[in-house]
Homo-oligomer: A and B are copies of this chain.
Amino acid sequence: MKEQLKELLENCMDHASTEELEVLTDILRGFHKKQNKINSSYIGGLLHMERTMDDKMCELTVPLTPLLNNSLGIVHGGMTATIIDSAMGTLANSLLPEGFGAVTTQLNIHYLSVGTGDYLQCKAHIDHKGTKSMVLSADVHRSDGKKIAQATGSFFIIKKK
């Protein structure tokens, strides 16, 4: 399997553009972060998510690279959704006692501007905490300060098995 992987990498590097080599470097570095438990998911690693958190809010920062772009060359709406759901989910889970988890049941995103610049920053807040469900909101800003998305999400509180 390792020989096959080395060959695969050779194929990827062969005729690769500078952009492609940079994206590939980012991908492998991100994968390694997940291996080293710096990130708790492959996606978090590959997106190089960095987190700041307290009991009121969770902030995620993600550097912008071509890896996050759709085929039109702008940040994929699904990547923005991924950052939002990560920030909300992380905060929701942090607010629950041990043995309980929060799962997204509904997510509503308004896309306001094109995602460009150096990085995206997402801040999630808790709006409502009930006994069975929670509602959170999040804003996403780009590095020049412009808000590119805002969202609300509903989460079910479940007992972990």
Contact = CB atoms under 8 A, between A and B. Distances in A.
A146 to B, nearest CB: 10
A52 interface: no
B20 A8 contact: no
Interface string A39-80: 011111010000000000000000000111111100011110
Contacts of A25: 1, 4-5, 8
Interface in A109-139: 109-112, 114, 127-128, 130, 132-133, 135, 137
B69 A76 contact: no
Interface residues of A, number: 71
A121 to B, nearest CB: 16
Contact of A41 (B12, B18, B71): B71
Interface of A: 1-2, 4-6, 8-9, 11-13, 16, 18, 20-21, 23-25, 27-29, 31-32, 35, 40-44, 46, 66-72, 76-79, 81-86, 89, 101, 103-112, 114, 127-128, 130, 132-133, 135, 137, 147, 150, 152, 154, 156
Given A8-B29, A128-B150, 6 more contacts: A1-B21, A5-B9, A43-B69, A77-B104, A78-B81, A106-B154
